[in-house]
Amino acid sequence: MKKIISYNVNGIRAALKKGFAEWLKNENPDILCIQETKAQPEQIDSLLFEYLGYHSYWFSAQKKGYSGVGILTKEKPDNIEYGMGIKKYDNEGRFLRADFGNVSVVSVYHPSGSSGDERQAFKMQWLEDFRTYVNKLQKTRPNLIISGDYNICRLWIDIHNPEKQQNTSGFLPEERQWFQKFVDDGFIDSFRKFNHEPHNYTWWSYRANARNNNKGWRIDYHMISKEFEDKIIAASILPEVKHSDHCPVTVDVDF
């Protein structure tokens, strides 16, 4: 069994100053998918992660202090793929894949559309291109675990006050419609396989004491190929872990 964690750290260097390394040592996942590193590879202390027993791989944005994904893994992967081969997305460091035998684990950071119409249009285009890319990838790598920050609440129970959020990026009807299509393509929302309760969130605004009041959004997921469904053992959210405005999400998979 492997414990896989996905965590948008909102800046790896900032998280390390808040005790991230100690948490990682205690939590001890087999694989950690990281989003929003906000760092170039040379700015990340890979020796620290090596000391904790991890091989580390980083795919950074060209723009400094922005976006970026990483994978820490105890077992050395057979192969690492940096990006999707689509320049405008790869320039933003949003997709990193590690292959272990016939299983592939992806750390993905979907764009946010909250800064305005231009980025929302970029996000919607990314979503279509991402789905096309993944459906093609499934033909050669059918056992996919796509972990990361999707920047979309999939269901009404995944966001506080859904009635008022219909026009907010991250909960737009067209975004949720895209997510349903992605599920229909053959992906399991691993957390919802085990937990159907509301008020389970993975991101909270820094404003208005949102985290203490648990007024959040569930936007971080482990989406797993349907063929692999019987290998999913457990999934959870760790809201008490606080190095970021997100919290980690876990899945235990038998592979």
> What would the mean pLDDT of 71-95 be, rounded to a whole number?
98
Residue 240's domain is classified under what CATH number? 3.60.10.10
Tokens in use for 27? 């939590």
> Using one digit for the tens of pLDDT, what is the confidence trace for 21-30?
999 999 999 9
> What percent of the chain has a predicted confidence (pLDDT) above 90?
100
What pLDDT is stored for residue 95 in this prediction?
99
Range of the domain at 171: 2-253
Q: Which of 30, 78, 149, 220 is catalytic?
A: 149
Identify which of 32, 41, 37 has the alpha carbon closest to the alpha carbon of residue 98: 32
What pLDDT is stored for residue 255 in this prediction?
87
Catalytic, 149? Answer yes
Chain-wide mean pLDDT for the chain? 97
Tell me: pLDDT of 243 over 90: yes
> What would the mean pLDDT of 197-224 be, rounded to a whole number?
97
Number of domains in the chain: 1
Cβ atoms 108, 146 nearer than 8 A: yes
What pLDDT is stored for residue 245 in this prediction?
98
How would you classify the pairing of strands 220-225 and 143-149? Answer: antiparallel
Q: What confidence tier does 179 reach under pLDDT thresholds 50, 70, 90?
A: very high
Q: Which residue matches tokens 């990838």? A: 137
Tell me: pLDDT of 166 over 90: yes
Report field, pTM of the whole predicted structure over 0.85: yes
Q: Give the whole-angstrom CA distance, residue 103 versus residue 130.
A: 19
Q: What confidence tier does 74 reach under pLDDT thresholds 50, 70, 90?
A: very high
Q: Give the whole-angstrom CA distance, residue 142 versus residue 122.
A: 27
